[in-house]
Structure 1
């Protein structure tokens, strides 16, 4: 039986044509036992347990292992299940037998892994690459979901060849639209998920008593429309139950929980809501000839 490292190494070798040197942009060749070397001799080794660190320089983030472990638990509970089902349906509607998916801002990999699993169940041949600047998340993804190419990468300098992506996922994550345009194939599309007005409404109303209790995604969606051609917009709204023993993980995961006053946090953990509103907007956008 292959180790997780070997499974991930094989996935990287099979997807080597999708990758590009983050320093010079040239193509890679694989050099045993575990190095990716470009034509300019820049070399990157597969790290344990099987991911590629493709940053020009080290980058520290505020996202630590505890956050990603909590995120995995919440996703495993099915909290985002209806969203991921719909995301997968949209991708499947392309009817492609082979598809390349990049998850820009993949975190600890749970969303991408579920999309890949559901697409493969329809006999779709999927090549998937997860990208995130937070090493702890990518490290966990490689450990938990072998068979996908996991990369520590900067979305402002994606280590991928131009016009190679059929779909770029960007779920509740920052974007770099110039890079996304470079990476998308002519008929490819960006699938971006952003919060809607009632996302986590119960939590917002508890934490805030001013205008912050409401949320607007107008600035995000306006920026996207300036850079890409929006083809389709839809809203996914549902109530998601959340177990009391998972609520501390939820507060660890979401930025809303990072700055709660200690007394408020204690009160909330003592009597958390039994369900939360998931209210998200899915945006499908394609490349445009406009600059």
Structure 2
């Protein structure tokens, strides 16, 4: 029986044509036991438990293992399940015989793994890669979801070949639209998920109790529309139950919980809301001037 590292290494080798050296953008070839080497002899070795660390230089982030473990617990509870179902349905509309899906800002991989499973269950052949600058998230993704290409990568310098993506996912994560345009095939599309005004309203109202208790995504959507052609916008709103014993994990994973005082945090954990409002906008966009 293959180890998770071997399963992931096989996925990397099988999808090597999608990868590009982050230093010179050259394609890779593989040399045993674990080397991905480009034509300029820059080498990156498969790390345990089976991901590639494709950064020009190390990046320190505030996203640690505890955050990603908390995120996985919350996602596993079904908090984002309606969103993931809708995203998978959008991707399934692609006419590509074999889908290449990149998750830009994949975190610990739960969203991408869920989408891949859904598409495969509906008969789609999927080549998937998750990219994130936070090594702890990618490391956990490789451990928990073998068989997907996992990359520690900078979204400003994606180590993937130009014109290879049928779909790019960008879920509640920063973007780099120039890179997304470079990666997308002419008929490919971006799915960007952004908060709407009432996203986590209960939490915002408790923490801020002022004008910050509402959220506007106008600046985000304006920047996207300046760089890509928006094909469609869908909205998804629902109440997501959350168990009391999961609320500490929720505060660990969301930026809203990072700046709350210990006193208010204790008050909230003692009497958390039983459900939170999930209010999101799903933007589907393509490259401009596609005939």
Q: Which residue of structure 2 lines up, in the alignment, with residue 270 of structure 1?
A: 270
Structure 1: runs of 5 or more not aligned: none
Q: Which residue of structure 2 lines up, in the alignment, with residue 259 of structure 1?
A: 259
RMSD: 0.8
After superposition, give the CA deviation of every residue in 1:129-185 in whole Å (9 maximum; x if it has no partner).
000000000000000000000000000000000000000000000000000000000
Output the CA distance in 2 between the equivalents of 1:145 and 1:95: 26
After superposition, give the CA deviation of every residue in 1:20-57 in whole Å (9 maximum; x if it has no partner).
00000000000101110000000000000000000000
Is residue 97–residue 123 contact of structure 1 (8 Å, CA) maintained in 2? no
Q: Indicate the SS of the match to 2:23.
A: coil
Q: Which residue of structure 2 lines up, in the alignment, with residue 11 of structure 1?
A: 11
Q: Which residue of structure 1 lines up, in the alignment, with residue 81 of structure 2?
A: 81
Q: Which residue of structure 2 lines up, in the alignment, with residue 99 of structure 1?
A: 99
Is residue 96–residue 124 contact of structure 1 (8 Å, CA) maintained in 2? no
Output the CA distance in 1 between the equivalents of 2:70 and 2:214: 25
Structure 2: runs of 5 or more not aligned: none
Q: Which residue of structure 1 lines up, in the alignment, with residue 26 of structure 2?
A: 26
Output the CA distance in 2 between the equivalents of 1:286 and 1:249: 35
Aligned length: 290
Give the C-alpha shift of residue 289 in structure 1.
Answer: 3.9
Output the CA distance in 2 between the equivalents of 1:187 and 1:69: 36
Q: Which residue of structure 1 lines up, in the alignment, with residue 167 of structure 2?
A: 167
Output the CA distance in 2 between the equivalents of 1:158 and 1:262: 38
Q: Which residue of structure 1 lines up, in the alignment, with residue 224 of structure 2?
A: 224
Structure 1 outlier segments of 4+, above 4 Å: none
TM-score (norm. length: structure 1): 0.99
Q: Which residue of structure 2 lines up, in the alignment, with residue 123 of structure 1?
A: 123
After superposition, give the CA deviation of every residue in 1:69-128 in whole Å (9 maximum; x if it has no partner).
000000000000000000000001124331000000000000000000000001111000
Q: Indicate the SS of the match to 2:116.
A: helix
